[in-house]
Structure formats: C-alpha cells, structure tokens
Chain A
Amino acid sequence: MSRDSNYDHHISIFSPQGRLYQIEYAFKAASQSSGLTAVALRGSNSCAFVTQKKVPDRLMDPSSISHIFQITPKIGCLATGMIADCKAQVQRMRYEAADFQYKYGYSIPVHVLAKRIADIAQVNTQSASMRPLATVSILIGVDDEKGPQVLKIDCAGHYLPFFGTASGSKEQEAVNFLEKKVKDMKDYDVDETVRTAIMCLGSVLGSDFRGSEIEVAMVEGTDGTFTVLKEEEIDLHLNAIADADA
C-alpha cells in the first residue's frame, strides 16, 4: 500500500522526486486557512510583532480571539495557521519552557526553545502516525548574550533567526517590504521597531486600520519583558505613523 504513488500524498513519505507532500500541504494550510498575515522584526534592543485581529462574528467576545501568546515572562509567540494547531504548539512551548526552568534553574533562552519546538515538529514529518501541525510560529525574546532575537519555526521543523520576517497569506509581500529596510533595522529604537512592523502590515494589506483591528506585542531591553500592547498604545503608534506621513 505504501508503494502506491498516491500514498505519498497522505502521509509523510517521499514522493518520486524526493518531495514530502504532507509538509507542502501543511504549509498551504498554515498560510491560507486563517487568512491572517503576521510581521515581526528586531531593532537595536527590542523586537516587535503584529498581526490582524479578525473577529468573524459580532457576537464573539473579541478578547478571546488572539494569535499572540506569552510563553514565559520574557518570550512571546505569534502563531499563524489553524488556531487549534497553534494552541497545541503553544501548550508544548509553555511546557518545554517550564520544564527547562525546573531542571536547569534559569529561564530558557529563545533560540533553545525554538530549536526544541522545531525538533518536535520534525518528528511529525518523519513519523507516519501524526501529521505535521499547520502552524508557523514566530518567537521573540531578548537573549542575555545575543540580544533581541526573532526566530521562525515552520511546519517542516525548520527554524531560523531573522532580522525581520513574516508569515501567513501575504508573507511574500511583507518580506519584500522588510528586505528593503534590513540595513537600517539594527539601529531602530523601540518605537521605530513597532511602527515599522505596523507600517509593513498596513502596506501589504493596502488599508489603514484602527487600534482594535490589529494585535501588537513586543519585548524590549535587557530585562526583556514580553508585553502585549493595549488598544490605546496601538492608537498612539498609529497616530504617530499617520503624522509622519502627513
């Protein structure tokens, strides 16, 4: 049965060309299913990420809908894709971070957590019993030795550190926007980091938004506490962007 060439579309075995279709399909699910785009970047001493907040129904409680999760006081995660898979991966991240703290007595560095979660994601690409998760996660944190870090973990178990990155339906356009600014990014202060992330999202979505329509979060400084911005704070940034353009 696994010899049938169609089986390679169902579970994580190689196709004749050496591709893994299940991973490719998981990527499609992760970028198309939620319809959201996420943007993340790092500055000189801070990182920020931003995504849309789409509430599908007016009867829903907007505070319960979020793709931004705190993993530890110093590490935050923006997960795009199928929300149930996102939450499953976040739960695992929280467990791994807490377990590390318990075993070693200090808080897990972002890149160590990213590697751990990526290694766990890889198992699903090699073992037939579980499908890959349809989630792309972006982790932000400030490392004691390396400074602000943005790491992206994808369905295939790849993880990479970035100066700036994006995920979701308009990923490519957002990345094009960020590539033009990559040389300046390392000097950005906190406000510029947050505002560039918001501007990037605005530019690829082609529309302006209000503070209630996006979620923004950041880590800053050497004590690096992860904070989700409140609507008023987002509005301050949006106004500053509008004033700068005017």
Chain B
Amino acid sequence: MGDSAYSFSLTTFSRTGKLLQIEYALNAVANGRTSLGICAKDGVVIATDKKLSSTLVDLDQVSKIQKINEGSGFVYSGLGPDYRVLVRKARKSSQSYHLQYREHKPVSQLVKSTASVMQEYTQSGGVRPFGVSLLVAGVDADKSPRLYQVDPSGAYFAWKATAVGKNYINAKNFLEKRYQDDMELEDAIHTALLTLREGFEGEMTKDNIEVGVVSQADGKFRALTPDQIQDYLDETS
C-alpha cells in the first residue's frame, strides 16, 4: 500500500495535536446515508436506507449490508468504494482464520482486525484514511450478541444501539429514549425501522431500505428479503 514515491504519511499531527485527515474523514461519514444498529438480548439488527440517485438504478442488485462470515455482517455510512475494500479484507481474514482454526472467526476478533487495517491507513505512507464508519453485527464465541462501531481512525466500541451518517444525532437520541436492556430481537427490529423512518425523506418502503439480522438462537447473519421487511413494516404502521 502506498508507493515509494510517497513513503511519508499523509495523516500528520497538526500544531494543536489533532489528526485532521481523520476528522475530515469523519465529516465524509457524516455526509453519508444513515445506518443504525441495535443490540437486543437475543440478537442484533442493523439497518440502512438504500436510496440511490435515480430510478434508473437496478436496486435489486445493490446491497450495502454484506455478510462477512456465518456469524457476522457489516453495514456502513460514507464512501461506498472504501467500504468494498474493507468487506473484501474482512472476508479474506475470516477465511484465513477458518483455514487455520477450523472455526468461524468470532465477531470481536473480526472487528479487531478490521479496525487494525483502518488504523494502518491513518499511519502508512501515501494513503488516506477510509471514509467509512462500519457497524458490525454478530454473535460472539461466547454466544453473546454484539454490535460494534468502527470509525475511520480505527477506534471501535461495542454499543447497545447506535447510528452513523446523516442525522445520526437525532437517530441516537431517538434510540436512547427507546432502548431497553431486556429488549428482544423482534422489538429491536421494529425500533430500528421506526428510527429509520424518523429521518427518512419521502416514503419508506421495502425496496428502499435494507435490514440485516443475526439471532442468538442460530448465530447466523442474514439480510432480510424485501418481503420479510414488508411484514415488519406492516407491523409497525
């Protein structure tokens, strides 16, 4: 990564001790479409809006929510192309883990290695930080459901509920009011949809949002189909 012509870091400390490229990267994330996640006691849900620039885009074939391995999935806010790089690296690292240990890479390990990659790009020569914040949903090795947020700096935190992208402050306030520690996955999905609807421009339908779910029962991450999303939308209205 980075050529010998640029063997110096592009992300350097300012006089006030800040890493400005990382702050600017966070601004790029805050311009992206909203994504959110909620960790219930028996599973995790992540959701995002899928609005694209034109009706000419074939939306069925586009998805922001990506499964990384059997038990983990990502969603993001920010720059799409940068996200694809992280998805690819995460999938490769999951396969490599599986090759060595014959077990699925637990979500906490996956987050650590992805965050480490993001940190490298803030320090290596000739590259800029990733312009994405990731929300990672998974059921960990100890069977506990986990939701993580990974930022462009490489910092990661586990959350009970969080949002990134446009309007994230309002979304997080909304989530704070509605979150309960003993929430079940079904409630979490409803709350996620309600939160998305809060900041949504126009009508929210099964075709312009995406939802991904992993439940503690089977530990498998899956993206909901539009018909499944419609069922939940019907229940919330």
Contacts and interface: CB of A to CB of B under 8 A. Distances in A.
Interface of A: 2-3, 11-20, 111, 115, 118-119, 121-122, 125-130, 146, 156-158, 160-165, 175, 178-179, 182
Given A14-B128, A14-B131, A17-B24, A119 B85 contact: yes
Contacts of A182: 55-56
A158 B57 contact: no
Contacts of B121: 126
Interface string B121-144: 100001111110000000000000
B81 A127 contact: no
Contacts of B81: 118-119, 121-122, 125, 156-158
B213 interface: no
Given A126-B82, A126-B128, A128-B6, A161 B62 contact: yes
B127 A2 contact: no
Given A121-B81, A127-B127, 8 more contacts: A14-B21, A17-B24, A122-B81, A122-B85, A126-B85, A127-B6, A128-B10, A160-B62
6 contacts: A3-B20, A16-B20, A16-B27, A17-B27, A158-B81, A164-B56
A129 B55 contact: no
Q: Which 8 A-B pairs have the closest CB atoms?
A: A18-B27, A157-B81, A129-B3, A18-B28, A14-B24, A122-B81, A161-B58, A128-B6
Interface string B155-193: 000000000000000000000000000000000000000
Contacts of B55: 179, 182
B56 A127 contact: no
B80 interface: yes
Contacts of B127: 126-128
A97 to B, nearest CB: 19
B139 to A, nearest CB: 29
A22 to B, nearest CB: 10
B31 interface: yes
B86 to A, nearest CB: 11
Interface of B: 1-3, 5-6, 10-12, 14, 20-21, 24-31, 52, 54-58, 61-62, 79-82, 84-85, 88, 121, 126-131
A14 B132 CA distance: 12
Given A14-B21, A122-B82, A161 B57 contact: yes
A73 B79 CA distance: 33
A12 B128 contact: yes
Contact of B57 (A3, A18, A157, A162): A162
A167 B133 CA distance: 30
A13 B128 contact: yes
A48 to B, nearest CB: 15
Contacts of B6: 127-129
Contacts of A12: 128
A158 B32 CA distance: 14
A2 B27 CA distance: 18
A129 B10 contact: no
Nearest to A160: B57
Contacts of B26: 18
B28 A162 contact: no
Nearest to A2: B10
Contacts of A127: 1-3, 6, 126-127
A175 B56 contact: yes
A96 B85 CA distance: 18
A115 B62 CA distance: 12
Contacts of A160: 52, 57-58, 62
A119 B88 contact: yes
Given A3-B14, A127-B2, A175-B54, A18 B30 contact: yes
Contacts of A3: 12, 14, 20
A122 B28 CA distance: 16
Nearest to A118: B81
B167 to A, nearest CB: 15
A126 B26 CA distance: 15
Given A126-B121, A126-B128, A162-B56, A119 B84 contact: yes
Contacts of B62: 160-161
A20 B129 CA distance: 12
